[in-house]
Amino acid sequence: MAIATVNPATGETLATFKSLTGQEIEAKLRGAVTAFALNRGRSLDDRAARMLRAAAILEERAADYGRMITLEMGKPVGASVAEVKKCALVCRYYAENAGRFLADEHITTNAQESYVRYEPLGPVLAVMPWNFPFWQVFRFAAPALMAGNVGLLKHSSNVPQSAMAIEQVLRDAGFDHDEFQTLLISSDQVAALLDDDRIKAATLTGGEGAGASVASSAGRNIKKTVLELGGSDPFIVMPSADLSEAVAVAVKARVINNGQSCIAAKRFIVHESIAPQFEKRFVEAMRALRIGDPLDEQTEIGPLATPQIVDDLEKQVHASIDAGARLLTGGHRVAGTKGNFYEPTVLADIPAGAPVRLEETFGPVAALYRVKDIDEAIAVANETTFGLGSSVWTRDSSEIRRFAAEIEAGQVFVNAMVASDPRLPFGGVKRSGFGRELGEHGIREFVNVKTVYVEKRA
């Protein structure tokens, strides 16, 4: 099977790579086992020094890697460069804090001494997506390597150059050859890896289907998994909100990464007293976005990553309109282009059962809802099967408390756009997955939480 980089702005194939053979995969697994025996014995200071070098390399090469990301998956180049720089932040965060997160915790019991140790598990398989091809990987790799594990990366098949660049960054930073390895393989080869006893755990960021497949294989083999899956995040605006700021952030939150983000706001739930004003300003701002070459610094919306994503989005929009949704702007592919461009789109009056009400939309498509009060806002926010992030806009303290307590999501951001932060745990509930990345919780996902109980010392 050939793995290729295809420029989503032009359809041009830029590079092709051969998938690994069975013998090559076996060699990488053997190398991972050997590397784990070495890495788990290294001091945290040694690991931290390497991770800090990785941060410096990412910053030095940010412009080059940013351009590569854009050519592989189409996001505006400024966002690609910012993504690489954010990876440097997560490397520094864990280099500086892993010692505190993994230190023995002494607990008072009836024993003479009792404490909890945090020990690495071994080789961890990471199945990662294309939409943030550097960030998604480093937010796994930084804590996993700092904890003493080793990583095997099965990246999305349309970003092979990003996958290999990440491996090179870590090697150049001083990590051994087999401490972090890229596997250029197909999705069909993942199950066999999960069946292999040398793989001790797995993490996946992606769609529900892929998550269910990995979780099923890992569960059959009794292996720990972390899943970050889809999202249909609500963006709720109440009467006390700063409407101008809410509209500006709403547009940014919907079209970040060309709309291809699990934590992008997708459903805009607005109190009826301010809904006409919000709708007018929001539609005007979406319509005014500049679509074009993602390598142009002035471009705000680039192409979607693959032709299939455009096809799927188009079907969701048209089926929703056929079901009774009202089209306010957009709703079509961008005419006269060779790339995967889709117009920023806004739908309203979305009936029950319409695809955009039930499914995740992975592109610049926004769904508007009007609600009469906070009870209805919370009910609409919670009606999906997803529960990843949520953004609420209000200056009412009682409303803030209710939203924080009652929205079914892994994250509630108040008067701010949902974002991942190395310092805070990140993940979802319901069909958005389980487990957490980032923060103190993230580094403890792939460790053995070992209780040590000493009744008497020798």
What is the reported pLDDT for 458? Answer: 63
- Grade residue 337 by pLDDT with cuts at 50, 70 and 90: confident
Q: Average pLDDT of 344-368?
A: 97
Read off the pLDDT of residues 8-40 as tens digits, 9 standing for 90 and up: 999 999 999 999 999 999 999 999 999 999 999
Q: Average pLDDT of 339-360?
A: 96
Architecture of domain 2-229+432-454: 3-Layer(aba) Sandwich (3.40)
Average pLDDT, the chain: 97
Find out whether 58 and 85 touch, Cβ atoms under 8 Å. yes
> How far apart are the C-alpha atoms of 172 and 366, rounded to whole Å?
42
Read off the pLDDT of residues 172-212 as tens digits, 9 standing for 90 and up: 999 998 999 999 999 999 999 999 999 999 999 999 999 99
Find out whether 183 and 153 touch, Cβ atoms under 8 Å. yes
Q: Which of 211, 206, 144, 166 is nearest to 72 (CA)?
A: 166
Find out whether 149 and 444 touch, Cβ atoms under 8 Å. no
Count Cβ neighbours within 10 Å for each residue of 188-213 and write b for 16 or more, e otherwise.
Answer: eebeebbeeeebbbbbbbbebebbeb
Residue 117: strand pairing partners:
450
Burial class (CB within 10 angstroms; exposed 0-12, middle 13-18, buried 19+) of 354: buried
Find out whether 180 and 151 touch, Cβ atoms under 8 Å. yes
Per-residue pLDDT at 1 exceeds 60: no
What is the reported pLDDT for 177? Answer: 86
> How far apart are the C-alpha atoms of 283 and 5, rounded to whole Å?
34
Among left, alpha and beta (phi > 0; psi -120 to 50; other), residue 396 is beta
Q: Which residues are catalytic?
A: 228, 262
Read off the pLDDT of residues 132-177 as tens digits, 9 standing for 90 and up: 999 999 999 999 999 999 999 999 999 999 999 999 999 999 999 8
What is the reported pLDDT for 397? Answer: 98
Read off the pLDDT of residues 252-300 as tens digits, 9 standing for 90 and up: 999 999 999 999 999 999 999 999 999 999 999 999 999 999 999 999 9
Q: Average pLDDT of 93-113?
A: 97
Residue 120: strand pairing partners:
447
Percent of the chain topping pLDDT 70: 99
What is the reported pLDDT for 2? Answer: 66
Which 3 state secondary structure label does DSSP give 342? strand
Q: Average pLDDT of 353-370?
A: 97
> How far apart are the C-alpha atoms of 324 and 241, rounded to whole Å?
30
> How far apart are the C-alpha atoms of 163 and 181, rounded to whole Å?
9
Find out whether 228 and 428 touch, Cβ atoms under 8 Å. yes
What is the reported pLDDT for 68? Answer: 98
- Please state the CATH superfamily assignment of the domain spanning residues 233-421 in this structure: Aldehyde Dehydrogenase; Chain A, domain 2 (3.40.309.10)
Per-residue pLDDT at 81 exceeds 80: yes
Burial class (CB within 10 angstroms; exposed 0-12, middle 13-18, buried 19+) of 244: exposed
Q: Which residues contact 256 (CB under 8 A, 6 or more apart)?
A: 79, 264, 417
Could you state, in order of their start, the residue ranges of all structural domains in the chain?
2-229+432-454, 233-421
